[in-house]
Amino acid sequence: MLTSRARRTLEAVDGQTLAEMRALRDETERFMMRYKFGMDEVITKLSILREEFSQAHDYNPIEHVSSRLKTIDSVMEKVERKGVEPSFEAISETITDIAGVRVTCSFVSDAYRIFNLLAAQKDVSVVQVKDYIGNPKPNGYKSLHAIVEVPVFLSTGAVPVTVEVQIRTIAMDFWASLEHKIYYKYDRQVPAELLDGLTQAARTASELDENMERLHREAHGLPRASPAIEA
Protein backbone atom coordinates (compact mmCIF):
# COMPACT_ATOMS: atom_id res chain seq x y z
CA MET A 1 0.00 0.00 0.00
CA LEU A 2 1.62 3.27 -1.13
CA THR A 3 1.39 6.42 1.00
CA SER A 4 -0.05 9.47 -0.75
CA ARG A 5 3.43 11.05 -0.70
CA ALA A 6 4.95 7.97 -2.38
CA ARG A 7 2.11 8.00 -4.94
CA ARG A 8 2.74 11.70 -5.74
CA THR A 9 6.49 10.98 -6.15
CA LEU A 10 5.76 8.10 -8.53
CA GLU A 11 3.30 10.22 -10.54
CA ALA A 12 6.04 12.84 -10.97
CA VAL A 13 8.41 10.28 -12.52
CA ASP A 14 8.36 10.32 -16.32
CA GLY A 15 7.60 7.16 -18.31
CA GLN A 16 11.17 6.51 -19.41
CA THR A 17 12.58 6.74 -15.88
CA LEU A 18 9.82 4.42 -14.67
CA ALA A 19 10.66 1.90 -17.40
CA GLU A 20 14.36 2.09 -16.44
CA MET A 21 13.47 1.57 -12.76
CA ARG A 22 11.40 -1.50 -13.66
CA ALA A 23 14.20 -2.90 -15.83
CA LEU A 24 16.70 -2.44 -12.97
CA ARG A 25 14.30 -4.12 -10.55
CA ASP A 26 13.89 -7.10 -12.90
CA GLU A 27 17.63 -7.38 -13.50
CA THR A 28 18.30 -7.26 -9.74
CA GLU A 29 15.74 -10.03 -9.17
CA ARG A 30 17.37 -12.18 -11.88
CA PHE A 31 20.83 -11.50 -10.39
CA MET A 32 19.74 -12.54 -6.88
CA MET A 33 17.87 -15.59 -8.22
CA ARG A 34 21.11 -17.04 -9.62
CA TYR A 35 22.56 -17.03 -6.11
CA LYS A 36 19.49 -18.76 -4.75
CA PHE A 37 19.84 -21.44 -7.45
CA GLY A 38 23.58 -21.82 -6.72
CA MET A 39 22.80 -22.16 -3.03
CA ASP A 40 20.10 -24.76 -3.77
CA GLU A 41 22.62 -26.75 -5.83
CA VAL A 42 25.15 -26.84 -3.01
CA ILE A 43 22.41 -27.84 -0.53
CA THR A 44 21.35 -30.68 -2.86
CA LYS A 45 24.96 -31.86 -3.13
CA LEU A 46 25.23 -31.90 0.65
CA SER A 47 21.91 -33.76 1.05
CA ILE A 48 23.11 -36.41 -1.40
CA LEU A 49 26.42 -36.79 0.44
CA ARG A 50 24.60 -37.01 3.75
CA GLU A 51 22.10 -39.64 2.59
CA GLU A 52 24.56 -41.71 0.61
CA PHE A 53 27.20 -41.61 3.34
CA SER A 54 24.63 -42.72 5.95
CA GLN A 55 23.56 -45.60 3.74
CA ALA A 56 27.08 -46.75 2.82
CA HIS A 57 28.82 -46.25 6.16
CA ASP A 58 25.93 -46.42 8.61
CA TYR A 59 27.09 -43.07 9.89
CA ASN A 60 25.99 -39.47 9.29
CA PRO A 61 28.83 -36.90 9.09
CA ILE A 62 26.41 -33.95 8.71
CA GLU A 63 24.30 -32.87 11.66
CA HIS A 64 22.63 -29.84 10.14
CA VAL A 65 22.65 -27.64 7.02
CA SER A 66 21.36 -24.07 6.98
CA SER A 67 21.50 -21.37 4.34
CA ARG A 68 20.95 -17.69 3.85
CA LEU A 69 20.80 -15.30 0.92
CA LYS A 70 22.07 -11.79 1.68
CA THR A 71 19.39 -9.13 1.37
CA ILE A 72 19.87 -6.52 -1.35
CA ASP A 73 20.43 -3.93 1.42
CA SER A 74 23.16 -6.07 2.94
CA VAL A 75 24.81 -6.58 -0.48
CA MET A 76 24.71 -2.81 -1.12
CA GLU A 77 26.12 -2.08 2.36
CA LYS A 78 29.08 -4.39 1.59
CA VAL A 79 29.49 -2.85 -1.89
CA GLU A 80 29.83 0.59 -0.26
CA ARG A 81 32.05 -0.61 2.59
CA LYS A 82 34.44 -2.34 0.16
CA GLY A 83 34.32 0.49 -2.40
CA VAL A 84 33.12 -1.87 -5.16
CA GLU A 85 31.81 -0.40 -8.41
CA PRO A 86 28.00 -0.79 -8.22
CA SER A 87 27.65 -2.91 -11.39
CA PHE A 88 26.34 -6.51 -11.46
CA GLU A 89 29.61 -7.68 -13.00
CA ALA A 90 31.82 -6.04 -10.35
CA ILE A 91 29.54 -7.21 -7.52
CA SER A 92 29.55 -10.82 -8.71
CA GLU A 93 33.36 -10.74 -9.01
CA THR A 94 33.96 -9.18 -5.59
CA ILE A 95 31.15 -10.08 -3.21
CA THR A 96 31.49 -13.83 -2.93
CA ASP A 97 29.21 -14.43 0.06
CA ILE A 98 25.82 -13.38 -1.35
CA ALA A 99 24.78 -17.02 -1.04
CA GLY A 100 25.90 -18.80 2.13
CA VAL A 101 25.55 -22.38 3.30
CA ARG A 102 26.52 -23.52 6.80
CA VAL A 103 27.20 -27.18 7.56
CA THR A 104 27.37 -28.43 11.14
CA CYS A 105 29.18 -31.69 11.79
CA SER A 106 29.73 -33.78 14.92
CA PHE A 107 33.50 -34.03 14.63
CA VAL A 108 36.41 -32.00 13.24
CA SER A 109 37.38 -34.87 10.91
CA ASP A 110 33.86 -34.76 9.44
CA ALA A 111 34.22 -31.05 8.64
CA TYR A 112 37.33 -31.76 6.53
CA ARG A 113 35.75 -34.90 5.05
CA ILE A 114 32.68 -32.97 3.87
CA PHE A 115 34.84 -30.22 2.40
CA ASN A 116 37.06 -32.74 0.57
CA LEU A 117 34.05 -34.65 -0.81
CA LEU A 118 32.42 -31.44 -2.04
CA ALA A 119 35.64 -30.03 -3.50
CA ALA A 120 36.32 -33.29 -5.38
CA GLN A 121 33.09 -32.97 -7.41
CA LYS A 122 33.72 -32.18 -11.07
CA ASP A 123 31.35 -29.23 -11.30
CA VAL A 124 32.59 -27.59 -8.09
CA SER A 125 35.57 -25.21 -8.30
CA VAL A 126 37.15 -24.06 -5.09
CA VAL A 127 37.90 -20.36 -5.40
CA GLN A 128 39.25 -19.81 -1.89
CA VAL A 129 39.66 -21.71 1.38
CA LYS A 130 40.18 -20.17 4.82
CA ASP A 131 40.97 -22.84 7.37
CA TYR A 132 40.08 -21.22 10.67
CA ILE A 133 40.00 -24.73 12.24
CA GLY A 134 43.71 -25.29 11.59
CA ASN A 135 44.40 -21.58 12.15
CA PRO A 136 41.77 -20.18 14.53
CA LYS A 137 41.15 -16.42 14.68
CA PRO A 138 42.74 -14.63 17.69
CA ASN A 139 39.31 -14.47 19.39
CA GLY A 140 39.04 -18.28 19.18
CA TYR A 141 36.70 -18.46 16.13
CA LYS A 142 37.00 -21.81 14.36
CA SER A 143 35.36 -22.86 11.11
CA LEU A 144 36.37 -24.05 7.66
CA HIS A 145 35.37 -21.43 5.07
CA ALA A 146 35.30 -22.13 1.35
CA ILE A 147 34.16 -20.04 -1.56
CA VAL A 148 33.03 -22.49 -4.24
CA GLU A 149 31.78 -21.86 -7.74
CA VAL A 150 29.03 -24.02 -9.25
CA PRO A 151 27.40 -23.78 -12.69
CA VAL A 152 23.74 -22.78 -12.69
CA PHE A 153 21.91 -23.86 -15.84
CA LEU A 154 19.46 -21.17 -16.93
CA SER A 155 17.28 -21.06 -20.06
CA THR A 156 19.96 -18.78 -21.55
CA GLY A 157 22.84 -21.13 -20.70
CA ALA A 158 25.13 -21.91 -17.79
CA VAL A 159 26.37 -19.20 -15.44
CA PRO A 160 29.00 -19.70 -12.73
CA VAL A 161 27.78 -18.73 -9.27
CA THR A 162 29.84 -18.39 -6.08
CA VAL A 163 28.59 -19.77 -2.78
CA GLU A 164 30.27 -19.38 0.60
CA VAL A 165 30.31 -22.65 2.54
CA GLN A 166 31.12 -22.60 6.25
CA ILE A 167 31.75 -26.01 7.82
CA ARG A 168 32.18 -26.48 11.56
CA THR A 169 31.41 -28.70 14.52
CA ILE A 170 28.39 -28.31 16.80
CA ALA A 171 30.68 -26.93 19.53
CA MET A 172 32.25 -24.36 17.14
CA ASP A 173 28.79 -23.39 15.92
CA PHE A 174 27.46 -22.95 19.46
CA TRP A 175 30.41 -20.69 20.32
CA ALA A 176 30.16 -18.64 17.07
CA SER A 177 26.45 -18.01 17.47
CA LEU A 178 26.84 -16.82 21.08
CA GLU A 179 29.85 -14.66 20.17
CA HIS A 180 27.89 -13.13 17.28
CA LYS A 181 24.96 -12.30 19.61
CA ILE A 182 27.30 -10.76 22.20
CA TYR A 183 29.02 -8.61 19.54
CA TYR A 184 25.63 -7.50 18.26
CA LYS A 185 24.35 -6.73 21.77
CA TYR A 186 27.40 -4.59 22.62
CA ASP A 187 27.65 -3.08 19.13
CA ARG A 188 31.21 -4.52 18.85
CA GLN A 189 32.39 -2.75 22.08
CA VAL A 190 32.44 -5.95 24.15
CA PRO A 191 33.75 -5.51 27.75
CA ALA A 192 37.20 -7.06 28.30
CA GLU A 193 36.02 -9.63 30.86
CA LEU A 194 33.39 -10.92 28.43
CA LEU A 195 36.04 -11.16 25.69
CA ASP A 196 38.25 -13.16 28.05
CA GLY A 197 35.28 -15.39 28.86
CA LEU A 198 34.66 -15.97 25.17
CA THR A 199 38.30 -16.89 24.54
CA GLN A 200 38.16 -19.31 27.47
CA ALA A 201 34.87 -20.76 26.16
CA ALA A 202 36.49 -21.26 22.71
CA ARG A 203 39.24 -23.29 24.40
CA THR A 204 36.64 -25.37 26.27
CA ALA A 205 34.75 -25.97 23.01
CA SER A 206 37.99 -27.18 21.33
CA GLU A 207 38.70 -29.52 24.22
CA LEU A 208 35.15 -30.87 24.00
CA ASP A 209 35.65 -31.49 20.25
CA GLU A 210 38.90 -33.36 20.91
CA ASN A 211 37.42 -35.47 23.72
CA MET A 212 34.24 -36.34 21.82
CA GLU A 213 36.17 -37.35 18.71
CA ARG A 214 38.58 -39.49 20.79
CA LEU A 215 35.62 -41.24 22.48
CA HIS A 216 33.94 -41.79 19.11
CA ARG A 217 37.13 -43.31 17.68
CA GLU A 218 37.64 -45.55 20.70
CA ALA A 219 34.02 -46.74 20.65
CA HIS A 220 34.29 -47.65 16.95
CA GLY A 221 37.88 -48.88 16.98
CA LEU A 222 38.90 -46.21 14.48
CA PRO A 223 42.55 -45.13 13.98
CA ARG A 224 43.71 -41.65 15.04
CA ALA A 225 43.01 -39.24 12.20
CA SER A 226 44.88 -36.08 11.21
CA PRO A 227 42.18 -34.38 9.16
CA ALA A 228 43.35 -31.97 6.48
CA ILE A 229 42.33 -30.32 3.24
CA GLU A 230 43.19 -32.59 0.31
CA ALA A 231 44.87 -30.90 -2.62
Candidate residues 41, 173, 179, 209; the one interacting with ligand 0O2 per rule CB under 6 A:
179
Among the residue ranges 16-24, 33-41, 139-147, 213-221, the one whose residues contact ligand 0O2 (CB under 6 A) = 139-147
Considering the complex, state which of residue 36 and residue 130 has its C-beta at the smaller distance from ligand 0O2. 130
**What is the rounded CA–CA span in Å between residue 173 and residue 187?**
21
Closest approach, Cβ 198 to ligand 0O2, in A, equals: 9
Report d(CA 146, CA 167) in Å as an integer.
8
Q: Residue 42 or 53: which CB sits closer to ligand 0O2?
A: 42
**Rounded least distance, CB 150 to ligand 0O2, Å:** 18
Residue of 41, 164, 179, 213 marked catalytic: 164
176 scored as a contact of ligand 0O2 (CB under 6 A): yes
Strand-pair partners of 103: 65, 167
Phi, psi (degrees; rounded to nearest 5) at 159: -125, 135
Q: Which of 97, 110, 209, 213 binds ligand 0O2 (CB under 6 A)?
A: 97
37, 116, 125, 130: which one binds ligand 0O2 (CB under 6 A): 130
The half-sphere exposure of 72 on its side-chain side, counting CA atoms within 13 A, is 11
Number of residues that bind ligand 0O2 (CB under 6 A): 10
Task: Determine whether 164 is an active site residue.
Answer: yes
Candidates 193, 196, 167; CA nearest to 66 is: 167
Q: How far is the CB of 86 from ligand 0O2 (least distance, A)?
A: 17
Question: Considering only 47-55, 117-125, 137-145, 221-229, which stretch makes contact with ligand 0O2 by CB under 6 A?
Answer: 137-145
Which stretch in 111-119, 136-144, 194-202, 205-213 sits in contact with ligand 0O2 by CB under 6 A? 136-144
Active site residues: 164
User: Which residues here bind ligand 0O2, judged by CB under 6 A?
Assistant: 97, 100, 130, 137, 139, 141, 145, 176, 179-180
